[in-house]
Amino acid sequence: MKTVYDFTVKDRLGNDVSLADYRGKVLLIVNTATGCGFTPHYEPLEAMYRDLKEQGFEILDFPCNQFANQAPGDADEIHRFCTLKFGTEFPQFKKIDVNGENAEPLFAFLATEKPFAGFGKGLKNAALSKFADMNNKQFGDKAYIKWNFTKFLIDCEGRVLARFEPTADMKDVRNAVTEELKK
């Protein structure tokens, strides 16, 4: 059975990183953007990381510019923004595509394991859904991720447990991580 440990990704400097290096840890893998309405998610993500990293938790941050060009800039600019504005310390990887022909294989795998199930109810979520559908039409059947700050919870054996859309309450994300760390 395939797990996230079967993938190698590039760190923000372009070096290969085997996700097998994270074996035994609970992971939250996130596609991010610096100019999105959900960019403030960096704050609760960093708080979660600081509070839980000693318990075997890691956040893996993958910037992506495929959603309304909300992650402009190179790796250094994105990293500076995140560290200066939000004090992020969790690992940040190379900016990637999460959709289309050049989609990072890790994200295609994650989305296949836990497909999109909607943004939730309410006018704001309906508006995001409509906007995301228009944006992602260009990727056809390779529109794996619907928007920035989609989060995947991975257990300590590399299996995909849950998918949290950017509209999910960050308290629910933290609770799921905390519960998984107790196992």
Instruction: Kindly list the catalytic residues.
Output: 36
C-alpha radius of gyration, the chain, whole number: 15
Nearest to 167 by CA among 119, 96, 107, 124: 119
Q: With contact defined as beta carbons under 8 Å apart, do 173 and 146 qualify?
A: no
Q: What is the DSSP letter of 12?
A: T
Torsion of CA 82, 88, 91, 93, to 10 degrees: -10
Crossing angle of helices 42-52 and 170-181, rounded to 10°: 20
Angle, CA 78 vertex, CA 76 and CA 138 arms, to 5°: 120
CA 137/CA 56 separation, integer angstroms: 38
Angle, CA 113 vertex, CA 119 and CA 40 arms, to 5°: 40
Crossing angle of helices 42-52 and 75-86, rounded to 10°: 70
